[in-house]
Amino acid sequence: MSPESHQIEIRHATTSDAGAIASVLLDAFAEYRALYSVAAFSATTPTAEQILVRMTEGPVWVAFHHNSIVGTVSAVIEDESLYIRGMAVSPPARGLYIGELLLRQIERFGSEMKVRRLFLSTTPFLDRAIRLYRKFGFDRTDAGPHELFGTPIFTMEKWTKTQTTL
């Protein structure tokens, strides 16, 4: 990790963070906009109001760097699994290992909740994200969904240690 990554704080998001979270998501995915359908891009970059709804569905975390929100991730518990969604890092903050810090937070939360599996959906063109997920032990599955409003997606999952001890 870079020395600057030690200056990053990961904390639970508050309702007052919703606008900044929406901005991070929009900024992070803007360069890929042409690869998404209009509806899929809209679903990937929710508004502040939609972020507030997500906050009622499960925890949302933010990454702070230099007093600004530069990353985010959220999760929803589904049965004995943890669905990871809305993970993004602002382009100027890339390279500071924020994605790794956010995934470690997700893993800690999953461990606390004793989930058996972590899973997420991603698009085939998000190469940096896919490399990060693989580095953390996620593998591509054949499970759906296979598209989001006409944009191809696939599922990646990681079984937890809890899974092997049940």
Grouping H, G, I as helix, E, B as strand and the rest as coil, residue 48 is: helix
Please tell me the distance from the alpha carbon of residue 106 to that of residue 54, in angstroms, as a whole number: 16
Number of domains in the chain: 1
pTM of the predicted model as reported, rounded to 2 decimal places: 0.92
Contacts of 35 (CB under 8 A, 6+ apart): 123, 125, 151
Q: Are 15 and 63 in contact (CB under 8 A)?
A: no
Domain CATH code at residue 152: 3.40.630.30
Ordered per-residue pLDDT tens for the chain, 166 residues? 554 556 899 999 999 999 999 999 999 999 999 999 999 999 999 999 999 999 999 999 999 999 999 999 999 999 999 999 999 999 999 999 999 999 999 999 999 999 999 999 999 999 999 999 999 999 999 999 999 999 999 999 999 875 444 3
Domain that holds residue 95: 3-165
